[in-house]
Chain A
Amino acid sequence: MERRRIDDYEPGPVPSPRPLDRFGFVKQERSSSPERVIKSRSTVEFEREERRVRKWRKMIGVGGSDWKHYVRRKPHVVKRRIRKGIPDCLRGLVWQLISGSRDLLLMNLGVYEQLVIYETSASELDIIRDISRTFPSHVFFQQRHGPGQRSLYNVLKAYSVYDRDVGYVQGMGFLAGLLLLYMSEEDAFWLMVALLKGAVHAPMEGLYQVGLPLVQQYLFQIDHLVREYLPKLGEHFTQEMINPSMYASQWFITVFSYSFPFHLALRIWDVFLFEGVKIVFKVGLALLKYCHDDLIKLPFEKLIHALRNFPEDAMDPDTLLPMAYSIKVSRRLEELKHEYEKKNGKLVEGEESDRKLKQPQ
């Protein structure tokens, strides 16, 4: 019947060349800020960038050999450097090191290939339907059935087999797509596994499981944080009947990769992979804080629009991220999580015990 793999298709025509930004996205009519930044970069800045890359290379060692040692010895230095942004040329490698996905890959050699080639998934048609709707404006994913779309399909299919409870859920494609721009299919797959199964931080799989339980919990938490940290805005949201599912679901489900400027998404991902999901809350709160005075004046409809279209200056990583770092949320997040679990009648203890990684079969 309709059950065809994406490999059965001939690649479509290569899209005619259009001007791209430095990340490979088709340029929008209105020029976005990163381009201007690049153009205005002086020699001094380039030299600074080169020095930074050298420092990073030393810290990582050949192929990541010194990384673990360095992190153990100087975790604060690593954290500080990551918060300033991982050099783009090293990003893929560093992401694999900090997420623990490199170790997973080495422990499971050959598993990915098996998942891609020999297994079938109930989600195959769902995945195919969304392939061309994932980063449609990126040159790598534009060609119908081209290399980008095939990789995206393979990673998502493999994951849907690896974890049949999660399968495939819309939004996961943006995670996989973002990763594929920086690493191979197999590496991207294991990074997905590391994130969803919780190799280093709390597992993310609850974002995609039936009932989207973790999305619900995060929305509960951000709702309370907004009210506590930005009480005037929280009050305004109540009056205008705005709830976080109207603007923040995408923040969590795709970790800002769905609709935020790519250069900002990358900087958030640098920190997200090293420090965990709390950066998503911090960035969200920083965005609201930055636009606070405008937001509290807006009525319902304009408010929703503004919450989905933050102004360009608010999304400059070098303004937004320092602001985000200064917001402390860890303790409140933990307390709110317990509150949420109590409210929903879950056992508070013993939940974290089964964070082991599931082997296929």
Chain B
Amino acid sequence: MARRPDEEYDYLFKVVLIGDSGVGKSNLLSRFTRNEFCLESKSTIGVEFATRTLQVEGRTVKAQIWDTAGQERYRAITSAYYRGALGALLVYDVTKPTTFDNVSRWLKELRDHADANIVIMMIGNKTDLKHLRAVATEDAQSYAEKEGLSFIETSALEAINVEKAFQTILSEIYRIISKKSLSSGEPAPANIKEGQTIVVGASEASTKKPCCSSS
């Protein structure tokens, strides 16, 4: 299918941004897609959406990112967006321990609604607020290891590690995808129509395996 040059890409990866309200999901997204940060941002109602095309492992990848409202009641709407997502960025606020405690609830949410082999990365955001830090890096690190998640700390405000966080999860998704298409002998699923998402192992997804081999 012919596309204009600015829309050319090898892969389209759908990623969801989840986590408690106020942890900085929308600003991580705007930092990544537009290199913007807004101190006076409004709370997200429902879902927001943005994309960015970038190079991952030498391939052109379009990241299609869904930013969701964090308040629990909104899950009635937002959980529908987990379907077909290849990655999830699960964000907490390093200055608010409750948002870290709730990570386990978000993981359960993903297990209930997302594809079983979704790649999950835990992000501790707001590292710029050094004097207010209340979640130690080591605690988060060991929790991430226990749950089999990737982990990184970021500051959307100071633009620290944001690029790296997205690069890492997209690379991880890419590795899984390319391994899949290699083992199944299919050609890499390039040139998909816009709006479609590659779903890894859709058949396996329905068997509801616990995600990411916990403990």
Residues of chain A at the chain B interface (Cβ within 8 Å): 126, 129-130, 132-137, 169-171, 173-174, 208, 210-212, 215-216, 240-241, 245-246, 249-250, 253-254, 258-259, 299-301, 304-305, 308
Partner of A249, one of B22, B41, B77: B77
Partner of A300, one of B42, B43, B46, B195: B195
> Given A126-B71, A212-B76, A240-B195, are A249 and B46 neighbors across the interface (CB < 8 Å)?
yes
Residues of A within 8 A of B64 (CB): 301
- Write the nearest CB–CB distance from A251 to chain B, whole angstroms: 10
B47 pairs with A246, CB closer than 8 A: yes
Contact with A along B94-110 (1 / 0, CB 8 A): 00000000000000000
B42 pairs with A212, CB closer than 8 A: no
Q: Give the docked Cα–Cα distance between A142 and B77 (Å).
A: 30
- Write the nearest CB–CB distance from A288 to chain B, whole angstroms: 17
- Write the nearest CB–CB distance from B149 to chain A, whole angstroms: 25
* Beyond A169-B71, A210-B73, 5 extra complex contacts between A and B, CB < 8 Å: A133-B41, A212-B73, A245-B77, A249-B45, A305-B49
Question: Which residue from chain B places its CB closest to the CB of A301 in the assembled complex?
Answer: B51
B45 pairs with A254, CB closer than 8 A: yes
Question: Which residue from chain A places its CB closest to the CB of B72 in the assembled complex?
Answer: A210
B69 pairs with A170, CB closer than 8 A: yes
Partner of A258, one of B41, B42, B77, B194: B42
Offer 29 A-B interface pairs, CB within 8 angstroms, sorted by A.
A130-B21, A130-B22, A132-B40, A133-B41, A134-B42, A136-B40, A136-B42, A169-B74, A170-B74, A208-B73, A210-B76, A211-B73, A212-B73, A212-B74, A212-B76, A215-B76, A216-B77, A241-B195, A241-B196, A245-B47, A246-B47, A249-B45, A258-B42, A299-B7, A300-B195, A301-B49, A301-B51, A305-B49, A308-B48
> Given A137-B40, A216-B76, A299-B195, are A245 and B46 neighbors across the interface (CB < 8 Å)?
yes
Q: Give the docked Cα–Cα distance between A216 and B73 (Å).
A: 13
Residues of B within 8 A of A133 (CB): 22, 41-43
Q: Give the docked Cα–Cα distance between A300 and B45 (Å).
A: 21
- The number of chain B residues with a CB under 8 A from chain A is 25
A173 pairs with B51, CB closer than 8 A: no
Question: Which residue from chain A places its CB closest to the CB of B39 in the assembled complex?
Answer: A136
Residues of chain B at the chain A interface (Cβ within 8 Å): 7, 21-22, 40-49, 51, 64, 69, 71, 73-74, 76-77, 80, 194-196
Q: Give the docked Cα–Cα distance between A246 and B64 (Å).
A: 14
Q: Which of B41, B42, B44, B80 has the most CB of A within 10 A?
A: B42
Q: Give the docked Cα–Cα distance between A256 and B47 (Å).
A: 15
Q: Give the docked Cα–Cα distance between A253 and B74 (Å).
A: 11
A253 pairs with B194, CB closer than 8 A: no
> Given A173-B43, A211-B76, are A129 and B22 neighbors across the interface (CB < 8 Å)?
yes
Question: Shortest 9 CB-CB distances between A and B: which pairs?
Answer: A300-B195, A249-B46, A136-B40, A133-B43, A212-B76, A129-B22, A250-B45, A211-B76, A170-B71
B73 pairs with A169, CB closer than 8 A: yes
B47 pairs with A170, CB closer than 8 A: no
Residues of A within 8 A of B21 (CB): 126, 129-130, 170
Residues of A within 8 A of B69 (CB): 170
Interface SS, B side: loop
Q: Give the docked Cα–Cα distance between A301 and B44 (Å).
A: 19
A245 pairs with B80, CB closer than 8 A: yes
Residues of B within 8 A of A249 (CB): 45-47, 77
Q: Give the docked Cα–Cα distance between A301 and B47 (Å).
A: 14
Q: Give the docked Cα–Cα distance between A174 and B40 (Å).
A: 15
Residues of A within 8 A of B76 (CB): 210-212, 215-216
Q: Give the docked Cα–Cα distance between A245 and B195 (Å).
A: 16
- Write the nearest CB–CB distance from B1 to chain A, whole angstroms: 11
Residues of A within 8 A of B51 (CB): 301
Q: Which of A240, A254, A300 has the most CB of B within 10 A?
A: A300
Residues of B within 8 A of A212 (CB): 73-74, 76-77
Residues of B within 8 A of A216 (CB): 76-77
B73 pairs with A304, CB closer than 8 A: no
Q: Give the docked Cα–Cα distance between A132 and B47 (Å).
A: 20
Partner of B45, one of A135, A136, A171: A171
Residues of B within 8 A of A174 (CB): 45
B46 pairs with A253, CB closer than 8 A: yes
Q: Give the docked Cα–Cα distance between A214 and B191 (Å).
A: 39
Residues of B within 8 A of A170 (CB): 21, 43-45, 69, 71, 74
Residues of B within 8 A of A169 (CB): 71, 73-74
- Write the nearest CB–CB distance from A9 to chain B, whole angstroms: 16
Q: Which of B41, B73, B196 has the most CB of A within 10 A?
A: B73
- Write the nearest CB–CB distance from A99 to chain B, whole angstroms: 22
Q: Give the docked Cα–Cα distance between A211 and B196 (Å).
A: 28
Question: Which residue from chain A places its CB closest to the CB of B97 in the assembled complex?
Answer: A2
Residues of B within 8 A of A171 (CB): 45
- Write the nearest CB–CB distance from B132 to chain A, whole angstroms: 12
Q: Give the docked Cα–Cα distance between A205 and B12 (Å).
A: 39
Question: Which residue from chain A places its CB closest to the CB of B51 in the assembled complex?
Answer: A301
Question: Which residue from chain B places its CB closest to the CB of A254 in the assembled complex?
Answer: B45
Residues of A within 8 A of B22 (CB): 129-130, 133
- Write the nearest CB–CB distance from B44 to chain A, whole angstroms: 8
